Amino acid sequence: MVSAHRVADVRAAEDVLLRRGPDGALMARAATGLAVVVADRITRARGRLAGARVLLVVGAGNNGGDALFAGAWLARRGAAVRWLALSEHVHTDGLAALQAAGGRAADPEEPTGWAGWADVALDAVVGIGGRPGLRSEAAVTFATLAAHGVPVIAVDLPSGVDPDTGETPDLHVRAEATVTFGTHKVATLVDPAARACGEVHLVDIGLDETLPEDAEIGVWEAADVAAALRVPSAGDHKYTRGVVGVRAGSAQYPGAGVLCVAGAAVGLAGMVRYVGDDAVTAEVRRRFPEVVGAGRVQAWAVGSGGGDGARAALQAALADGVPVVVDADAVIHARDLFAPGHGHDVVLTPHAGELAVLLDADRADVEARPLHHARAAVARHEVTVLLKGARTLVVTPQGRSWVNTTGNPWLGTAGSGDVLAGLVAALAATGLPLPDAAAMGAWLHGRAAEELGGPFTAGDLPHAIREVSRALMARVGE
């Protein structure tokens, strides 16, 4: 599982290594890793490194030092390297190494000599120690580079983003790629800062042994999902494999109920039960003859397209005392049904607009600060929250948080969330803890979208989820 850590934890881990190793060893690892990534990207774009023109935009401190040493490495291998200093106090040893390798200073007053010259620029103004926003000189510099179409590679993080929240409340660098060191930061994984990072490359500098095990954010990977998927044994039958119930859809939104059932019926649970509107029931039975009616279940999916009946459906599901996935029209009822101490095992699956209504917040602010608002909902209602988006978040009352990195923009289609709600409930019915089911469901849902590529509709997702699950299970058996 990929992890992201807070700046304070990264600093503490670095301090341990700095005390153990020789002076400069940690920066040398970071700089070499940075240089290798930059060289690889240049070579793939141009065919060779020699003759490439690299501009280093450097500030004070170690972030600038990483770039200067990397620039020296590139210059020794044939790249033309110039540096543009945005501080009077750049890293002394790094600058000396670059000068010795043939690097040249750029004149800040002559942008044609750097913005009009560079093939690629490195953003090394501030690293993880920076605050949100750019100083005016940096803002003008990167605006000039953007106007000349120069791609930017950020060193550790794009300057101006908030490293610990993933927020971008002020001007910031937008990078084509980011080379981050030791561990991911919240900003490399959580939107909107993750969008500013571009393609992220993680360079190992030896922090694994010194970082805390309790990371700020986790990311499920294929191996994690494969290991957690429940594969039936010879002694299993439909009831032991898990029974999932669906209370979704209405006369107004019948398709939502059908799609939620489709997500639940991908084959991971042993049985699906549907309880709801008569017209929806008839369509469910026509499309899924294996789905049965009311009875005992191990988890419920509730609310997708539920309309005015969503509250009653949610209350009925909660009365069973099993995990409940609360989607769409049922989410708003968290306001009064999930006060502190309610004792229910629940995951809410809102999109930004639904979470904004639940929290009496502005949707734009939820989209600007998704992790903040997801955690606010968890604290207020003592439930797990799966906040859907390009980078779906899962936040739990136990303090764990995950971000999902699978998926593509084609998932922004009507009904895809209904499929996800049914899928998460099915995973919970197999015996997975509900937070794990939420994180795994988001991963499978997104991976299915990647397999489909696009364009597609929500009705295409269940088959793709089944195929992705089958491939993962085969991988475990190898």
The binding site comprises 256, 305, 351, 388-392, 417-418
Q: What SS3 class is residue 223?
A: helix
Element containing residue 133 per DSSP (H, E):
none
Among residues 125, 148, 152, the alpha carbon closest in space to that of 137 is found at 125
* Dist. CA 363–CA 385, nearest whole Å: 16
Between helices 278-287 and 254-264, what is the axis angle to 10°?
40
Q: What SS3 class is residue 108?
A: coil
In 21-173, alpha helices (H): 25-46, 62-76, 92-100, 136-147
Distances (CA, A) of 137 to 59, 120, 131, 307: 11, 19, 15, 53
Q: Binding site residues for AMP, as ranges?
A: 388-392, 417
* Type of residue numbered 22: P
Dihedral sign of CA atoms 119, 125, 130, 135 in order = negative
Q: What is the spatial order of strands in the sheet that 104-105 belongs to?
A: 104-105, 80-85, 53-58, 120-124, 152-155, 177-181, 199-203
111's torsion region: left (phi>0), alpha (psi -120 to 50) or beta? alpha
205: which 2 tokens? 């500098």
Distances (CA, A) of 260 to 342, 413, 417: 26, 14, 8
Q: Binding site residues for (6S)-NADPHX, as ranges?
A: 256, 305, 351, 418
* Dist. CA 370–CA 6, nearest whole Å: 17
Rounded to the nearest 5 percent, the helix, strand and coil shares of the chain are 45, 15, 40
Cβ contact 313:330 at 8 Å: yes
Cβ contact 110:85 at 8 Å: no
Among residues 191, 108, 150, the alpha carbon closest in space to that of 371 is found at 191
Cβ contact 449:468 at 8 Å: no
